[in-house]
Chain A
Amino acid sequence: MTNEMKAVDKVSVQTPGESTRECPCFVPRVDIYESAEKITLLADMPGVTKDGVSIDLKDNVLTLRGAFGSPTPAPARVLYKEYEEGDFYRQFTLSNLIDQTRITAGLKDGVLTLELPKVEKAKPRQIEIRTE
């Protein structure tokens, strides 16, 4: 891979839900791919610690939140400021049924990896009709 990386400004979240934290909130850049068994999501969340991550799946809406863990102590004088530190927030709507009990998440070097296993083929459920 010889691709030369380019700097891209972080994108602010326009409506970060109802946040009570007084700090900027950004949209994490993600990769999402799907195989036969699962959906994998990778999100760049630099500065977010394990305790700061919250993942919520409700009514097919997946909400990712990442709280910035350890802010850099403000130096006596700022010389350059090219980026801002802050939290991350993003929501996705999933089209597949996800087996909530088997979701796994990992965080390494500021990258969140989420594995969302699909529900095994919904079994046809026979509904018995009782006659009285």
Chain B
Amino acid sequence: MSILKWTPGFGSQGSWRDLDRFRRQVEGLLETLSGTVERRLLSGSGVYPLLNIGEDDDHLYVTAELPGVAAQDLDISVHGQDLIIRGERRIAEAGSQVNYHRREREAGTFRRVVGLPVKVDAEKVSASVKDGVLRLTLPKAAEVKPRQVAVAAG
């Protein structure tokens, strides 16, 4: 055990530390809460698969985790401004000679329709599946891309 020299300021430092810790806890709690609220708004329907969607000036990017779904069991299409991801996840039967200890993985069909925020060029959409992760790149339609307007000096 170490012996600390008592200084008048020491006690107050300690309470500052407590206050700081408390502040961080509150911040963490607020972050958690806001994160939950945000996610509820987006995936409230609980439709499989969950999606992450991002964009830059020229593309929309959609990713989804689809473990155990082979590329040939996936059907992706763009109808107008809707992206439709359909597919089936198959799990091989283990046979009747086995005892299950855990059965948490689900098999079945899924279909998710997402309204895209902008029009995309459906012809140029590209998709890849690797290690159970689907990644889509959707080029934005020419008319919605931001256009640089040159200003002529008069």
Identify the A interface with B (CB < 8 A): 1-9, 29-36, 39-40, 42, 44-49, 69-70, 72, 74-83, 107, 109-111
Given A6-B47, A75-B61, 16 new contacts (CB under 8 A): A1-B109, A2-B108, A9-B39, A30-B104, A30-B105, A31-B105, A34-B100, A40-B94, A42-B91, A47-B65, A48-B131, A72-B135, A77-B56, A79-B55, A82-B39, A82-B52
Given the complex, which residues of B lie within 8 Å of A35, measured CB to CB? 95, 97-99
Q: Is B56's CB under 8 angstroms from A110's CB? A: no
Q: Which residue of the partner chain, among A39, A45, A75, contacts B132 with CB atoms under 8 Å? A: A45
Whole-angstrom CA separation of A4 from B106 in the bound complex: 10
Q: Mark B91-123, 1 if CB is under 8 A from A, else 0.
A: 100110111111111111110000001000000
A82 with B50: in contact, given A3-B106, A29-B104 (CB under 8 Å)? yes
Proximity string of chain B (46-71) to chain A, C-beta cutoff 8 Å, 1 when within and 0 when not: 11111111111100110101111110
A44 in complex: contacting residue of B50, B52, B132, CB < 8 Å: B132
Complex CA distance for A8 and B57, rounded to whole angstroms: 31
List residues of chain B with CB within 8 A of the CB of A48: 131
Query: Which residues of chain B are near A4, meaning CB under 8 Å?
Result: 108-110
| A-B contact list, 30 entries, CB within 8 Å | A1-B109, A2-B109, A3-B109, A6-B47, A6-B106, A7-B47, A7-B48, A29-B105, A30-B102, A30-B104, A32-B101, A32-B102, A33-B94, A33-B101, A34-B98, A34-B101, A35-B97, A39-B101, A44-B68, A46-B131, A46-B133, A47-B133, A72-B135, A79-B54, A82-B52, A109-B68, A109-B70, A109-B129, A110-B67, A110-B133
Q: Does chain A have a CB within 8 A of B42?
A: yes
CA distance A32 to B101 in the complex (A): 5
Residues of B within 8 A of A83 (CB): 50-52, 65
Q: Which residues of B contact A72 (CB under 8 A)?
A: 52, 61, 63, 133, 135
- A109 close to B101 (CB less than 8 A): no
Chain A residues closer than 8 Å to B60, beta-carbon distance: 79
Please give the distance in Å from A73's CB to the nearest CB on chain B: 9
Contact of B68 among A80, A82, A110 (CB under 8 A): A110
**B152 to A: closest C-beta gap in Å:** 29
Those 6 A-B pairs whose CB atoms lie nearest each other, nearest first = A110-B132, A75-B54, A3-B108, A46-B132, A110-B67, A46-B65
